[in-house]
Structure 1
Amino acid sequence: MAMAKRFEITHQTAFPKGAFLRGPVEPVTDFQAEQRPDGSRPQQRDKETGRLLWQCTVIDGDDEAGRREIGVTVKFAAEHQPVPPKNTSALPWTPVEFVGLTALPYVDDSGRRPRIAWSFRAQGFVTPGQQVGHSEPKAAA
């Protein structure tokens, strides 16, 4: 039996104390692509689907998360920029729950000692507690 590199994981398993969006959803820059005449680079595309890649930074609400695990990047493969839910909380960050979350373990050897790290992908996000089943995030207006 072959195990898939990327596997499905529930939001509650990855973020048992919640996840909070910090900043905007941004395009992932393709640093392997040739620079444009203006010096910019194109947006990276997902190797499997060909869709554009977007990313956001979330704060892991777990008090026991280490300093290197508090800020987590979650990526989306979508033709249109994912739109986060509206922040109706009193917090400066938007509480979010990821839909269609997958994880990919890898070895991060950028520090003094190598460690297991996680790469996350999601199909979208909703306000925590919403039961929404969709395959692609809503487009930005």
Structure 2
Amino acid sequence: MAVPMRIPVRFGDVFPHGAFVLGVEADRDFEKVKAGVVDSQVRDKETGARVWVVRVLDATPDLRAGQAEVKVKIVTEHQPVPPEVMPGTPFRPVEFDGMTVTAYVDQSRKTPRVGFSLRAREMRAPAAVRSGKAA
């Protein structure tokens, strides 16, 4: 059985009610930060390109406290630009293309648990927003 480390997933399966960008920032290697390295941004192990973290608000209405904000990593040399703000709101609706999920064991807690890391090839405005139709 050949199960890939990064499992492809569809945006709608991960965010069935949509998502909104909260911010985009460089993924920092804190060991490099502590060592005083000027360029402490994480680099992708396969390509060497910079890794960016997109903070996302999951619009699913019944999430528990602390579950609504997730991070999606994008590997690209230049900082990704979020979609435009939806008129009349502070929200930036977003969709991700080329999404993958990677499972890992989070051992930083008293009881270890399975966690998930999300990656995407790129982000863009949802089709309804790009065409001027409110979703």
- Give me the TM-score of the superposition, normalised by structure 1: 0.79
User: What is the correspondence of 1:23-34 to structure 2 with a 5 Å cutoff?
Assistant: 23=23, 25-33=24-32, 34=35
Shift of 1:111: 4.1
Match of 1:74 among 61, 72, 82: 72
Deviations 1:7-63 (A, max 9, x none): 11100000001111112x111112233323xxx552110011111011111011112
Picking from 106, 116, 119, the partner of 2:117 is 119
Counterpart residue number, 2:84 = 86
SS in 2 for 1:13: helix
Residue 127 of structure 1 and its aligned partner are, at CA, apart by 1.1
Q: Does residue 2 of the first structure (1) align with residue 10 of the second (2)?
A: no
Contact 1:19 1:59 in 2 (8 A): yes
Where do 1:104-115 residues align within 5 Å? Answer: 104-115=102-113
The runs of 4+ residues in structure 1 deviating greater than 4 Å are none
Identical counterparts, % of pairs: 40
Q: Cα RMSD over matched residues?
A: 1.8
Q: 2:12 aligns to what SS in structure 1?
A: helix
2:50 corresponding residue in structure 1: 52
Q: Equivalents in 1 of 2:93, 2:41: separation in Å? A: 27
Q: In structure 2, do the counterparts of structure 1 residues 116 and 89 end up closer, same or farther at CA, with 3 Å as the change threshold?
A: farther
- Structure 1, gaps ≥5 residues long: 131-141
- Please identify, of 76-85 and 112-121, the stretch whose mean Cα deviation from structure 2 is larger: 112-121
Distance 1:120 1:77 in 2: 12
Equivalent of 1:65 in 38, 63, 66: 63
Query: Normalising by the residue count of structure 2, what TM-score does the alignment of the two structures yield?
Result: 0.82
CA contact (8 A) 1:108 1:114 kept: yes
Larger relative helix fraction: 2
Write the deviation string for residues 94-121 of structure 1: whole angstroms up to 9, x where unpaired: 1100111111112234445433221111
Q: Which residue of 2 aligns with 1:19?
A: 19
